[in-house]
Chains A and B, each alone.
Chain A
């Protein structure tokens, strides 16, 4: 187990053509295997709402939905997402599914600089789709993967809590 069989590299390309469905549209692009999904989304597809923060999976600014679930786009290479259905903050905004969250964040000023907000919204949507009646403690637990360096957490928890209650009163979770 030591020598590297160079013929292996003839079978794998240095750039790979990947296809995704991003925000409901089929797209294809050429990526190097080392390119993370967040870089691909921002650079090749110009979807700059997804933010690259820590690039270690700790800050949550890069969250997107892959096949319906919140995922760190910095902890995934674009090649791994080949064939996936991806929704970024732009797609979630266009479709209106997080309009109530966005309105409540806005109303309560649940952000300061706003850098973390796209990830906060993706995470909030993930929480509310999984837990029908989150307590404030549940909300704080869920936000443990999102860093707001302006420390705007209190208003963010308030906003998510208010939307959870409003959705419940409107008849269950989406």
Chain B
């Protein structure tokens, strides 16, 4: 199928993009990588009258250190998560997750900001913003604001973004020497959506866990932090007993949706297996 006819406007600045959206009312969409939006337009799940191309807005590009954060421009492409040295050094969890995002040609176009804005519950990066305690920088007609990832994902494909607002950057607290991370997902085939995926970031004193944030994807309507499991791990070392306790806690942390293909009990089991595997890696420093 083909997209319904629309008009196209290429914005050079954030202000131009916001202005065009304001004038188009609710009948406009921003497009950057377009790797999810173009199929949605082709299927006519969406049929805006105006497409505002934000790909050429220089202010939304680039990766740099800013205070205690790494500021990743919203237009940073998935492939740059693999090639950008600052990301490998200061946001290694994103670097580890990137190879699991779709396949290379999609990663060459898709953008970090676009992935977070879409908030697909099966996507890797929205969930990782939770594990990383990221802050999302949003521009709108009333100015710029920053919101914690914890407060951003509201429901299926629903976020704290208001109509006409634009994600301009994502701020990730800099990875520190006393931190460890782990990421993996279970999928039938690399590049497919995960049956279950998980990423975690821990602050450690030796083998002692001072703090840990664990985020799952593909197990519900939104990317999900598992606070019960986190609580079971904080303040101890990662022995088999604690790992088992964290696995048990998943039962109340997660509520996998009912589906014929993957029953909730199976998805919960896979989540436990994955959690155990990743905590083992975290402990062994692998």
Please report A residues at the B interface, Cβ cutoff 8 Å: 1-5, 7-9, 11-14, 16, 32-34, 36, 55-57, 60, 63, 66, 69-72, 74-77, 79-80, 82, 123, 126-127, 130, 140-142, 144-145
A34-B3 in contact given A69-B79, A76-B109, A77-B38 (Cβ < 8 Å): yes
* CB-contact partner of B7 in A12, A75, A80, under 8 A: A12
Chain B, Cβ-Cβ closest to A62: B105
Residues in chain A near residue B270, CB distance under 8 A: none
Question: Could you tell me if A145 and B5 are in contact, using CB atoms closer than 8 angstroms?
Answer: no
Please report B residues at the A interface, Cβ cutoff 8 Å: 1-10, 20, 22-27, 31, 34-35, 38-39, 41-42, 49-51, 53, 55, 79, 99, 102-106, 108-109, 163-164, 189-192
Question: Could you tell me if B104 and A80 are in contact, using CB atoms closer than 8 angstroms?
Answer: no
Question: Could you tell me if B106 and A16 are in contact, using CB atoms closer than 8 angstroms?
Answer: no
Tell me the complex Cα distance, A5–B164, Å.
Answer: 14
Beyond known contacts A8-B9, A144-B190, A145-B102: 16 more, CB 8 A cutoff = A4-B27, A7-B23, A11-B9, A12-B50, A13-B7, A33-B51, A34-B2, A34-B4, A36-B38, A56-B42, A70-B108, A72-B106, A79-B10, A127-B104, A142-B103, A145-B103
Residues in chain A near residue B55, CB distance under 8 A: 80
Residues in chain A near residue B9, CB distance under 8 A: 8, 11-12
Chain A, Cβ-Cβ closest to B55: A80
A8-B24 in contact given A33-B7, A76-B34, A144-B192 (Cβ < 8 Å): yes
A8-B4 in contact given A76-B109, A80-B31 (Cβ < 8 Å): no
Report, nearest first, the 8 A-B pairs whose CB atoms are least far apart. Answer: A145-B103, A144-B191, A33-B8, A5-B23, A12-B7, A69-B108, A34-B3, A141-B190
Chain A contact residues: over half helix, strand or loop, or mixed? mixed
Residues in chain A near residue B106, CB distance under 8 A: 57, 72, 75, 145
Question: Could you tell me if A32 and B5 are in contact, using CB atoms closer than 8 angstroms?
Answer: yes
Tell me the complex Cα distance, A88–B262, Å.
Answer: 40
Chain A, Cβ-Cβ closest to B7: A12
List 10 interface pairs A-B (beta carbons < 8 Å), by A numbering.
A12-B7, A32-B5, A34-B5, A70-B108, A74-B38, A123-B105, A141-B99, A142-B103, A142-B104, A145-B105
Residues in chain B near residue A3, CB distance under 8 A: 25
